[in-house]
């Protein structure tokens, strides 16, 4: 039995050597430490070069399995909201079977963002976006905080993502540079009665759709897809005096649609024309 075990041990060593020579069948680890994550209340997600993840909520060590002599690339897949984390020494190539443990992930506090809302209509809601991504939905006037934080020293910009129906909302102090020593709290959102833009659609074939759009006063585009005949309303209402020009940007397959009364000037005194834009579809 002793002789057999020795033979097995020798054979195992030979096989291991062959696997290492073939590249990638003997595994080791690559990792390091995370600092600055303690008590953040949310998760940091690290990702390796093949898409495997690790979620961490407190400071400590981490490691991923990696094939000997293989390349590795550890990055941040998801930032924890209250802090911003960066990776040092996250990319390299393994040298044999020796583990790598010098990857340093450092997290520093982000900057909270807050503001105030006035004029929101009863039973209405407003959704704001921060830096074109994370959204915050508000349902009542008052002081609010954004669900996302800004990176210290980086620019931030708040925008109206989805306004309340029949209202126009504008933002003062919407952008700036985040400063941890003086977090911005003066983002002021004011909502007022607006002029809805819409009308009716007729003749659209079942199973098809068309896309319509209107360019807003700030140059952004309000677009939506129409899937069936009937009344429609664009997402953004207009301020008194704003121009509108409803366009068809995507025609339905096998049909041609036209717009009537699609151009005009929004008026609070006479809002009806902006809601009487007809769209008719016929066979192409």
Q: Are residues 67 and 105 in the same domain?
A: yes
C-beta of residue 104 within 8 angstroms of C-beta of residue 76 = no
C-beta of residue 7 within 8 angstroms of C-beta of residue 19 = no
Render pLDDT for 156-178 as a digit per residue (tens, 0 to 9): 999 999 999 999 999 999 999 99
Q: Are residues 118 and 188 in the same domain?
A: yes
Domain assignment present for 18: no
Q: Are residues 187 and 246 in the same domain?
A: no
pLDDT at position 11 = 43
Give the pLDDT mean for 268-280.
Answer: 97
Cα dihedral 12, 13, 15, 19 in deg (nearest 10): 130
Render pLDDT for 47-75 as a digit per residue (tens, 0 to 9): 999 999 999 999 999 999 999 889 999 99
Q: Are residues 274 and 216 in the same domain?
A: yes
Render pLDDT for 19-29 as a digit per residue (tens, 0 to 9): 444 544 589 99
Instruction: Please provide the average confidence, as pLDDT, over all residues in the chain.
Output: 90
| Alpha carbon distances (Å) from 246 to 165, 213, 243 | 18, 6, 10
Domain assignment present for 220: yes
Residue 98 has pLDDT above 70, yes or no: yes
Identify the band that residue 39 occupies on the pLDDT scale cut at 50, 70 and 90.
Answer: low
Identify the band that residue 12 occupies on the pLDDT scale cut at 50, 70 and 90.
Answer: very low
Among 94, 109, 124, give the residue marking a domain's end: 109
The CATH number covering residue 47 comes to 2.60.40
Among 193, 214, 241, give the residue marking a domain's end: 193
Domain assignment present for 81: yes
Domain assignment present for 4: no
| Alpha carbon distances (Å) from 181 to 131, 144, 146, 157, 241 | 21, 20, 18, 19, 41
Domain assignment of residue 96, given as a range: 25-109
Residue 263 has pLDDT above 60, yes or no: yes
pLDDT at position 14 = 43
Render pLDDT for 205-229 as a digit per residue (tens, 0 to 9): 999 999 999 999 999 999 999 999 9
pLDDT at position 248 = 98
Domains identified in the chain, total number: 3
Domain assignment present for 98: yes
- Stronger pLDDT, 14 or 214, i.e. the higher one: 214
Q: Are residues 143 and 179 in the same domain?
A: yes
Domain assignment present for 11: no
pLDDT at position 132 = 86
pTM of the model: 0.74
Q: Are residues 161 and 215 in the same domain?
A: no
Domain assignment present for 14: no
Among 109, 133, 158, give the residue marking a domain's end: 109
């Amino acid at each position: 039995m002793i002789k057999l075990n020795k033979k097995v041990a020798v054979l195992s060593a030979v096989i291991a050597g062959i696997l290492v020579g073939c590249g990638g069948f003997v595994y080791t680890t690559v990792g390091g430490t995370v600092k600055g994550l303690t008590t953040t209340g949310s998760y940091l997600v690290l990702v390796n070069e093949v898409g495997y993840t690790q979620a961490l909520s407190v400071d400590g060590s981490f490691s991923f399995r990696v094939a000997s002599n293989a390349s590795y690339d550890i990055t941040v897949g998801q930032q924890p909201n209250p802090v911003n984390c960066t990776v040092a020494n996250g990319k390299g190539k393994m040298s044999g079977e020796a583990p790598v443990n010098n990857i340093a992930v450092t997290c520093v506090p982000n900057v909270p963002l807050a503001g105030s809302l006035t004029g929101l209509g009863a039973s209405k809601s407003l959704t704001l976006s921060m830096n074109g991504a994370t959204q915050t939905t508000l349902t009542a006037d008052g002081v609010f905080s954004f669900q996302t934080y800004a990176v210290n020293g980086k620019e931030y910009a708040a925008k109206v993502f989805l306004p309340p129906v029949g209202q126009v909302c504008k933002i003062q102090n919407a952008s700036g540079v985040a400063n941890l020593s003086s977090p911005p709290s003066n983002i002021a959102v004011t909502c007022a009665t607006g002029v809805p833009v819409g009308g009716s659609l007729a003749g659209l074939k079942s199973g098809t759709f068309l896309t319509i759009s209107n360019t807003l006063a700030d140059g952004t585009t309000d677009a939506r897809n129409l899937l069936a005949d009937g009344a429609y309303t664009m997402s953004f209402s207009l301020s008194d005096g704003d121009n509108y020009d409803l366009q068809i940007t995507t025609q339905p397959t096998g049909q041609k649609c036209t717009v009537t009364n699609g151009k005009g000037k929004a008026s609070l005194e006479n809002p009806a024309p902006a809601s009487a834009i007809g769209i008719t579809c016929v066979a192409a």
